[in-house]
Amino acid sequence: MNILITGGAGFIGSAVIRYIINNTSNSVINVDSLTYAGNLESLSQVETSKRYSFVQMDICNRAELDRVFAEHKPDAVMHLAAESHVDRSIDGPAAFIETNIVGTYTLLEAARSYWNILEEDKKHAFRFHHISTDEVYGDLEGTDDLFTETTSYEPSSPYSASKASSDHLVRAWFRTYGLPTIVTNCSNNYGPYHFPEKLIPLMILNAVAGKSLPVYGDGTQIRDWLFVEDHARALYKVVTEGVTGETYNIGGHNEKANIEVVRTICALLEELVPFKPEGISQYEDLITYVTDRPGHDVRYAIDASKIERELGWTPEESFESGIRKTVEWYLNNKEWWSRVLDGSYAGERLGVNK
């Protein structure tokens, strides 16, 4: 297969590309505009592969999309390009509307035009896989409730509302035009190459630097944590084996309160980095509670039984094994995250401004 992946320089997208290049014989075309969260250094281990190519462009640019489809002739699209940080969506929602809604629409139309002129066997085999989030479902009320593929949408933030909109567009293009689409909704990802503004890498890097560990509210918000490499395996299984028109929820079976996640990180650092910055007796002393974000959902939890039952996927990592691998990766890859923090990752080699 020749797979076009949008947002392939992002956290999840780069994990998907590394998985495909390292574990299959397929080729990848990475389309990414390289906004602040796009980092080609996350693909350094596969960038020299003859089966990998990169195109820097905005998915809102229809002419450029048409050119990419015509030139690379993909057999499938995996659409991961998105603005994804809730806090940023609250501060400035416009970029989320533009990328997540307008960008998805533009990509759907480019894919439909390309798909319409394919030969019948290629047309039948083509897949448009849209990767979304469990945040579109909103908040779970009960302690035992789970998000299923039929849970109604109740997004709470500009980010989740824009992703919900894109999900609806994808399903409409399947039903109205017959474009062979598949949607997946995943729980919170974590793992190597995660942008440092996100909870887990932020806590790791702040702790080792002796900085405060800011926790929203009382830290009791619950998330289902999914190791990013498990997610990459699931996404590849969906694009190659999933049924068009279907939705698959992907979760890690690891419900944890935010404060529990932070304390777990602190405990691992006590073991792995016992020599602390001056004036700190234990990492947990750095925890500070800050004003909760507006509209903060209390609990997300995924029922991932459908993808297990129908496609045979289950996560390989427990939270305990995955978080240890994650902490160790950040401790051993200072060059990667220090270049993100100082902005040099977007420097001369990439040909873009800081």
Q: How far apart are CA 189 and CA 205, in angstroms?
A: 17
pLDDT of residue 144: 78
List strand residue ranges (DSSP E) for 138-276, in order.
Answer: 181-186, 188-190, 213-216, 222-227, 247-250, 255-257
What topology is assigned to 2-190+227-252+299-316 in CATH? Answer: Rossmann fold (3.40.50)
Q: How far apart are CA 234 and CA 250, in angstroms?
A: 7
Residues 114-136 have a mean pLDDT of 97
pLDDT of residue 336: 95
Domain layout of the chain by residue ranges: 2-190+227-252+299-316
Whether the pLDDT of residue 141 is over 70: the answer is yes
Residues 104-119 have a mean pLDDT of 98
Nearest to 70 by CA among 42, 29, 39, 102: 29
pLDDT of residue 33: 96
pLDDT of residue 351: 38
pLDDT of residue 346: 67
Q: What is the pLDDT confidence band of residue 13, given thresholds at 50, 70 and 90? A: very high
**C-beta pairs of 328-336 under 8 Å, 24+ apart in sequence:** 328/272, 329/191, 329/192, 330/192, 330/201, 330/204, 330/205, 331/204, 331/208, 331/272, 331/273, 333/192, 336/41, 336/42, 336/193
Q: How far apart are CA 10 and CA 16, in angstroms?
A: 10
315: number of CA atoms within 13 Å, CB side? Answer: 28
Q: What is the pLDDT confidence band of residue 67, given thresholds at 50, 70 and 90? A: very high
Kindly list the catalytic residues: 134-135, 159
List strand residue ranges (DSSP E) for 177-328, in order.
Answer: 181-186, 188-190, 213-216, 222-227, 247-250, 255-257, 287-290
pLDDT of residue 344: 81
Whether the pLDDT of residue 337 is over 50: the answer is yes
Percentage of the chain lying above the pLDDT 90 cut: 88
Percentage of the chain lying above the pLDDT 70 cut: 97
